[in-house]
A = this chain, B = another copy of it.
């Protein structure tokens, strides 16, 4: 992985804690709209993490593969990535 590792780990820890917090809210029978607001917030946090990972992939792995003459493989992987992101 070529994205800044410390920042990726920090964001993942935050997301994990956020999900744990939602579980606590459910356990305590909080109002479902308040729970939904938190699940949307987790998805937004995942979006930002993905942006970081994609940038790292483009500037790191794809660049390396292109320079190593494996551009075709890098392009196939990017096509797959776009199709995953779209779902």
Interface on A for B, CB 8 Å cutoff?
Answer: 1-3, 5, 8-9, 12-13, 15-16, 19-20, 22-23, 26-27, 29-33, 35-37, 39-40, 42-44, 46-47, 49-51, 53-63, 66-67, 71-72, 75, 77-87
Contact of A33 with B71 at beta-carbon distance under 8 Å, contacts A16-B20, A26-B5 already known: no
Copy tally for this chain in the complex stands at 4
Q: Give A80's nearest chain B residue, CB to CB.
A: B33
Q: List 27 A-B contacts (CB under 8 A).
A: A1-B31, A1-B35, A5-B29, A9-B27, A12-B19, A12-B26, A16-B19, A19-B19, A32-B53, A32-B56, A32-B57, A32-B60, A35-B53, A36-B81, A36-B84, A37-B84, A40-B84, A40-B87, A42-B46, A46-B46, A50-B86, A51-B86, A55-B82, A59-B79, A82-B82, A82-B85, A85-B85
